[in-house]
Amino acid sequence: MNAKAIRRNLYKVLRKTGVPKSRISEEASFRDELFVDDLDMNCFLFYLETKFDLDIKNDEVVQLTSVKSTIDYLQRHCA
């Protein structure tokens, strides 16, 4: 999957999780800029795993702190 498709699908997952389109940017932190709490993060991870056909392990979840870190993760695992 190319970088553009990854970004587009990630943004769709964020919108489905309830993040307003105007807040989504590559530099946005989930906690600080997007106000994602623990429940939102669980929903986000479910949609992310479903959309990208992944199984994200618990020790990898802590790496996903921002839109950019998630894009980087997806590029490594969806190649």
Domains of the chain: 3-77 (1.10.1200.10)
Q: Which residues contact 73 (CB under 8 A, 6 or more apart)?
A: 60, 63, 64
User: Which pLDDT tens digit goes with each residue over 3-54?
Assistant: 899 999 999 999 999 999 999 999 999 999 999 999 999 999 999 999 999 9
Q: For 67, phi and psi rounded to 5 degrees? A: -60, -45
Alpha helices in the chain (DSSP H): 3-17, 38-52, 58-61, 67-77
Q: What is the mean pLDDT of residues 65-78?
A: 95
User: Of 51, 53, 55, 48, which Cα lies nearest the Cα of 69?
Assistant: 48
